[in-house]
């Protein structure tokens, strides 16, 4: 018998065996194999470095058939506002027992260089992010392959700008002795301005009242935005800067001052490492300083004062785990 005939007979034998198995299954159950299904997906953070953040994923797949199944391949991508942040895939085939469940573990790396781009989209969407997971798994049962979709979505929302606004008046002493000279900070409202790949503009509108019987000058304002965590973690300065104003506040006047600050988006990589490392929790501290000038009978006076300090507890649930 020729080699070609031997190969053909062997192939026919394999087909017959497969058909017999599938036929026997059909005779016993009266049905073709049921399609396996994804029961649940769980994520958790793994190792964190300056450049990458590990995502550890467990996918549970149920085989509803009275015969074993086999996972042939599986892959998925995590999107944040449409940006592909991380992709993962299985590296080996896995058996799924009859009428049973197999839990498949995957490890994938999120490139921290994507964080500034995500932040731009997050602010551009009103501090809202849709996290979307899309992928598929291929499972074989008695020679029949099923492609099972892997999909999940959830929202991540923050309100940093809103939380750093206040309408609660605050008195700030410029001089307390021998006479008291002070201003009243009536309100501070913060909102996002222009957003680029490098910077996020934040605009602060500060309403200041001069209750004194003499004029004051607000010569400049200075600001800092700091991400902090419990020691020994080091803070990350997200924004530092100053702005000249030379605004005149006459006796009894109330004026609105506009201070524009710029968050350095490249610093968000360092923030991300600290944020994830502390369970996706960060205390964001904003401090605003103003320099006041006043001419008094006993001389000229100039003083920089802290006119506002606010904290925002920034918590996220990027992986959507409750």
DSSP 92-147: S-EEE-TTEEEEEEEEEEEEGGGHHHHHHHHHHTTSEEEEEEEEEEEEEETTEEEE
For residue 29, pLDDT beyond 80: no
* The pLDDT value given to residue 221: 95
pLDDT digit string (tens) for 6-15? 434 433 343 3
pTM for the structure as a whole: 0.83
CA distance 33 to 36: 9
pLDDT for 12: 39
pLDDT above 70 coverage of the chain, percent: 90
Is the confidence at residue 170, as pLDDT, over 90? yes
Write out pLDDT tens, residues 54-66: 999 999 999 999 9
Least confident of 20-24, 51-55, 182-186: 20-24
Task: Report the alpha-carbon distance of residue 34 to residue 22 in Å, rounded.
Answer: 12
Q: How many Cβ atoms sit within 10 Å of the Cβ of residue 20?
A: 10
**pLDDT value of position 19:** 41
Total residues found in the chain within this entry: 322
What mean pLDDT is predicted for residues 79-101?
93
Given this model, what pLDDT does residue 3 score?
52
Tens digit of each residue's pLDDT (9 = 90 or more) over 225-250: 999 999 999 999 999 989 999 999 99
pLDDT tens string 256-302: 999 998 999 999 999 999 999 999 999 999 999 999 999 888 788 89
For residue 223, the model assigns a pLDDT of: 92
């Amino acid at each position: 018998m020729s080699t070609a005939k031997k190969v053909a007979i062997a192939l026919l034998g394999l087909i017959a065996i497969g058909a017999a198995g599938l036929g026997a299954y059909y005779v016993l159950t009266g049905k073709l194999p049921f399609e396996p299904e994804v029961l649940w997906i769980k994520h958790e953070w793994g190792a964190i470095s300056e450049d990458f953040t590990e995502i550890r994923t467990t996918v549970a797949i149920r085989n509803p058939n009275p015969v074993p199944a086999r996972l042939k391949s599986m892959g998925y991508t995590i999107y944040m506002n449409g940006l592909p942040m991380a992709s993962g895939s299985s590296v080996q085939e896995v058996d799924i027992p009859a009428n049973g469940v197999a839990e498949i573990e995957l490890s994938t790396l999120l490139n921290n260089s994507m964080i500034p781009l995500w932040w731009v989209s997050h602010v551009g969407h009103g501090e809202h992010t849709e996290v979307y997971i899309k992928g598929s798994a291929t499972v074989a049962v008695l020679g029949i392959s099923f492609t099972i979709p892997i999909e999940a979505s959830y929202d991540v929302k923050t309100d940093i700008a809103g939380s750093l606004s206040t309408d609660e008046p605050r008195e700030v002493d410029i001089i307390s002795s021998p006479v008291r000279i002070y201003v009243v900070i009536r309100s501070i409202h913060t909102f996002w301005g222009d957003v680029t790949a490098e910077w996020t503009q934040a605009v602060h509108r500060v309403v200041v009242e001069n209750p004194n019987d003499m004029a004051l000058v607000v010569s400049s304002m200075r600001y800092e935005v700091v991400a902090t965590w419990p020691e020994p973690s080091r803070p990350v300065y997200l924004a530092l800067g100053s702005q000249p104003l030379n605004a005149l506040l006459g006796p009894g006047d109330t004026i609105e001052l506009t201070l524009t600050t710029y968050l350095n988006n490249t610093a968000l990589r360092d923030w991300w490492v600290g944020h994830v490392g502390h369970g996706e929790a960060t205390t964001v501290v904003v401090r605003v300083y103003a320099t006041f000038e006043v001419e008094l009978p006993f001389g000229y006076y100039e003083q920089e004062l802290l006119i506002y300090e606010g904290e925002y507890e920034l918590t996220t649930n990027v992986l959507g785990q409750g």
